[in-house]
């Protein structure tokens, strides 16, 4: 689980949906601006290319994407920092919260509040991170042994079938090259990003704890400065 709940969501009014869309665009824009530090040409910067692709998949307007790229050259724009916070949630689940912020004095209190109000707590740096390994993760549409072998031949470290898709794991340095190879072979790459993968997942078997955990994750994910939320939970509750 990497912060995205597969539990049923409730229907919301259009105003709320629009607000959420704006928050998503803010997060995506921050990711693009950070990636663009490595070069503003996506043809020469694989990280930027993947960030732009992710933004387009979310229907982010081209003008918004360009503004995020242009932020690199804008001396008047507040500098963005990438900061990962660590915490614990219900059931002793470890949580890593990736943020992109222009004001850490705002972001840390917001993260702490979201954790504490929902049954979690902030943790000291390094006390949770050792439970995870940073990996490249690519989602490919399709299933079957032949596709699994094709993915592995492209340089993937591992690959598993999950919910009608192939989840591909790579070393950090291999994410862009594997993703490009799969795309060049005509496979439908739905997503490609860096994630924190649990070394030993914590099983959550009861529904109440699972619901409490998802409440924490959702509260964190709702913060504008939060880019990704990762946990080491393996939810088996029905």
* 3 state DSSP class of 85: strand
* Pairwise pLDDT comparison (192 vs 122), residue with the higher score: 122
237 has a pLDDT exceeding 90? no
User: Quick check: 71 and 77 in contact, CB under 8 A?
Assistant: yes
2-42 pLDDT per residue, tens: 444 433 333 334 333 444 566 788 888 988 988 888 888 98
Question: Which residues 6+ apart lie within 8 Å of 33 measured at CB?
Answer: 68, 69, 71, 72, 80, 100
pLDDT, position 19: 46
Whole-model pTM over 0.95? no
Which residues on neighbouring strands pair with residue 139, listed in sequence order?
167, 191
Neighbours of 50 (CB within 10 A): 25
User: Is 229:27 a contact under the CB 8 Å cutoff?
Assistant: no
Considering the chain, what percentage of its residues have pLDDT values greater than 70? 89
155 with 174: CB under 8 angstroms? yes
How high is the pLDDT of residue 71?
A: 85
> Tokens representing 160?
């598993």
**Mean pLDDT (whole number) for 45-57:** 87
- On whether the CB atoms of residues 138 and 182 are closer than 8 A, the answer is yes
pLDDT in tens, 78-134: 678 899 999 999 999 999 999 999 899 999 999 999 999 999 999 999 999 999 999
Question: Pseudo-torsion of CA 222, 228, 234, 235, nearest 10°?
Answer: 20
Distance CA 154, CA 180 (A): 9
Q: What is the pLDDT of residues 152-171, one digit of tens each?
A: 999 999 999 988 899 999 99
Walk me through the domains of the chain, giving residue ranges and CATH numbers. 14-70 (1.10.10.200), 79-238 (3.30.70.980)
Q: 93-101 and 226-231 as β-strands: parallel, antiparallel, unpaired?
A: antiparallel
């Amino acid at each position: 689980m990497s912060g995205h709940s597969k539990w049923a969501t409730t229907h919301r009014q259009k105003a709320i949906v629009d607000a959420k869309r704006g928050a998503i665009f803010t997060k995506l824009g921050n990711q693009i601006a950070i990636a663009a530090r490595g070069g503003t040409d996506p043809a020469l910067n694989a990280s930027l290319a993947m960030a732009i692709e992710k933004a387009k998949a979310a229907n982010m307007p081209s003008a918004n994407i360009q503004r995020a790229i242009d932020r690199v050259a804008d001396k008047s724009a507040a500098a963005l920092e990438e900061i990962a916070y660590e915490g614990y949630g219900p059931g002793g689940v470890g949580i890593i919260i990736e943020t992109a912020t222009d004001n850490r004095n705002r972001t840390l209190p917001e993260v702490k509040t979201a954790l504490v109000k929902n049954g979690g707590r902030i943790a000291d740096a390094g006390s949770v991170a050792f439970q995870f390994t940073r990996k490249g993760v690519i989602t490919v549409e399709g299933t079957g042994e032949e596709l699994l072998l094709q993915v592995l031949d492209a340089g993937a470290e591992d690959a598993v079938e999950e919910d009608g898709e192939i989840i591909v794991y790579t070393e950090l340095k291999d994410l862009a090259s594997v993703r490009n190879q799969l795309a060049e072979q005509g496979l439908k790459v739905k997503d490609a990003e860096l994630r924190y993968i649990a070394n030993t997942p914590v099983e959550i078997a009861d529904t109440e704890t699972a619901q409490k955990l998802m409440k924490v994750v959702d509260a964190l994910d709702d913060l504008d400065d939060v880019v990704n939320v990762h946990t080491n939970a393996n939810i088996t509750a029905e």
